[in-house]
Structure 1
Amino acid sequence: MNSPAIVVSVIIPVWNEAGHLYQSLKTIVEFIRQATSYFELIVVDDGSTDETWSILTAASTEIPELEGIRLSRNFGKERALCAGLEHARGQAVIIMDCDLQHPPELIPIMIEQWRLQGVKIVECVKKSRSKESLSYRISTNMFYGLIQKLARQDLRGASDFKLLDRQVVEAWAKMPEKITFFRGMTAWLGFSRVELEFDVAPRIDGKTSWSPISLVNLALHAIVAFTSWPLRLVTIVGMFSFVVAVILSIQTIYMKIAGMAVTGFTTVILLLLCMNSMIMLGIGILGEYIAAIYDEVKGRPRYVVSQRTGVQSMDTGVLNRDEIAFTNINQNSYVQLIKNNLNL
């Protein structure tokens, strides 16, 4: 006899979230249960150095749907999301943060939108943000502006808080690159989608783990992964520099022949500084792409799992959208639900 099929998988990556983890998980589970009784909660511990894993292990004894995955070290949020997506078994998969800045009260609405409208992606878009520094907002706007101009993907207001249909998850799984940018990858996949706006609430506890350096690294990875325009920019700058050099050469030769050459090194020094700066910039851009190629050809796994806890062996069936039963919609009786979901 097979167990009932999982309707929804909820994936939560965490890193050093011990201060509020248990309370957040209990709150999130309450809202999931408003929509369906058949779900799994996958929490990926991205190599935390505090008591996160101990709390997660203890919580799994109280929350039977909870499955904890502990990575062997800190691989980064993007790869932690990969671990969750590759272990998810639900017909719909929700990705969210654990600090409750992604409001869990939207979970039943997201599931309802997916079930009734038949869309493949329910995208939660930031309507307003919590308190952020001016420099952070400026850098964020610059980053999304570059992505829109170079990769033609409008990610302004986008977040990792979204619901993906099983078809989208399977399409995502066919993208094997090691350098991942989840928001960009789901935008690139396409599929029908609907947007839900939300206000970003203050963190329930602690402060963000995103440092300026980590944000710069994320921006570089995203640009390298989704556009080759920086490489073309090097070519364009090189062509422009060549044209300028030809014009200056003609002018210098003319000044020499006409006997109007001016003694001095100011112009030469300035030209050398400009040319060297452009050369170093070009080498830097090439280096980023070569490093990305190097990561890909090594063929190392995106992450390494060291421990798992909670539900691991549930046998899931494959259900159509109309066959899935939700607790807030009384379409079938409990007996009929069991007949539909079990293979007797």
Structure 2
Amino acid sequence: MRPLLWIVVPCYNEEEVLPETSKRLAAKLDSLIAREMVSGGSRILLVDDGSSDATWRQIAALHDGNLNGVSAAPGVFCGLKLAHNAGHQNALFAGLMHAYRQGCDCAISLDADLQDDINAIDEMIERHAEGAEIVYGVRNNRDTDTRFKRSTAEAFYSLMRFLGVEMVSDSADYRLMGKRSLGALSEFKETNLFLRGIVPSLGFATAKVYYRRGERFAGESKYPLKKMVSFALEGITSFSIAPVRLITLIGVLAVIVSVVMILYALASLIMGSVVAGWTSLIVSIWLVGGLIMIALGVVGEYVGRTYLEAKGRPRYIVDEVLE
């Protein structure tokens, strides 16, 4: 039996790239249906994450089948408009949950910028048919990244593994999820989503499909350095309390060093040695003060996350749906 596939694409201010993205995705879906790899009722779901440009108007035109240059029957493209910008992870989650509620057999998520090779979708569906509940799209190189981005990405994955977080290296949000894994994902209620850590923790059978990541087709990246840092903090604080434990360890070490320094000062006093004092005092004040500020910052991150979770506000609000 051919699976009912939904392709979920979160979009934020993607008016420059969306016509080309939709054209390629429509052609890919037609090819999959023609080769009987997926059901004829398969759909492409475009999630507008509170865009301020013409993204939603383009999605509405695609839904009606009248966007210039895109050959697709009315209804092939579906639209989900969020009332405000909820963030990439929430927009993606909203799309996956909508596809799940519509009875899809599997859903493939990918970004709208055409950097992910859509030809890998074929192999993803094959791996799913062979029994893999989750299939990850994994980059086989980082040639298109700058040296800074490549080094920071490697450092991030190493840090997450050190903290005990399950993650698939060089895999972003390009993945296939089956109906069972989508159902399991729907049980996660936290406000601060980090899907790259949540999905591997589900525990279902997985597979990997390797592909070459290309350049962005048009427009600007929606992940500048500020958002990348925020995303990294989200992942760390969502899955590990190791930083808090590290603060405790640093505190213990600081106490030990302090005891040693006290003993050294007393010994110097008894032996009549002259202790300069001022330099060591200033260094100690700055060092301890810096450690205290870092500790407060780390603890504050966790308190802030707890505060957001305790309020229980919805992750997103759907403004309009095009079925």
TM-score (norm. length: structure 1):
0.86
> Which of these residues, 96, 105, 119, is aligned with residue 91 of structure 1?
105
Contact 2:167/2:196 (<8 A) preserved: no
Aligned to 1:223: 236
Counterpart-to-counterpart distance in 1, 2:98 and 2:108: 13
Aligned to 1:301: 314
CA-to-aligned-CA distance 1:23-79 (integer Å, 9 cap, x gap): 211211221232321212111101111110001100101141221111111111011
> Which of these residues, 83, 86, 90, is aligned with residue 72 of structure 1?
83
Output the aligned Cα RMSD.
1.6
Counterpart-to-counterpart distance in 2, 1:155 and 1:277: 34
Aligned to 1:102: 116
Aligned to 1:10: 7
Unaligned runs of 5+ in 1: 312-344
Aligned to 1:147: 160
Counterpart-to-counterpart distance in 1, 2:218 and 2:238: 33
1:156-235 matches, within 5 Å, as 156-235=169-248
Contact 1:230/1:285 (<8 A) preserved: yes
CA-to-aligned-CA distance 1:254-295 (integer Å, 9 cap, x gap): 211222141441011111111111111100000000010011
Q: Which amino acid aligns with 1:146?
A: L
1:126 maps onto 2:139 in alignment: yes
Counterpart-to-counterpart distance in 2, 1:203 and 1:266: 53
Contact 1:9/1:94 (<8 A) preserved: yes
Displacement after TM superposition at 1:6 (Å)? 7.0
Q: Which runs of 4+ in 1 moved over 4 A?
A: none
Counterpart-to-counterpart distance in 2, 1:77 and 1:198: 22
Displacement after TM superposition at 1:5 (Å)? 9.8
1:243 maps onto 2:246 in alignment: no
| 1:53–1:6 distance in 2 versus 1, CA, 3 Å | farther
Query: Which protein has greater RCO, CA pairs closer than 8 Å, 6+ apart?
Result: 1
Contact 2:165/2:197 (<8 A) preserved: no
TM-score (norm. length: structure 2):
0.91
Q: Which amino acid aligns with 1:266?
A: T
Q: Which amino acid aligns with 2:19?
A: Y
Counterpart-to-counterpart distance in 1, 2:287 and 2:298: 17
Contact 1:32/1:108 (<8 A) preserved: no
CA-to-aligned-CA distance 1:84-115 (integer Å, 9 cap, x gap): 11111311111111122111122222112211
Aligned residue pair count: 306
Contact 1:120/1:192 (<8 A) preserved: yes
> Which of these residues, 118, 125, 140, is aligned with residue 111 of structure 1?
125
1:263-282 matches, within 5 Å, as 263-282=276-295
1:138 maps onto 2:151 in alignment: yes
Q: Which amino acid aligns with 2:175?
A: K
Displacement after TM superposition at 1:205 (Å)? 1.1
Unaligned runs of 5+ in 2: 66-73
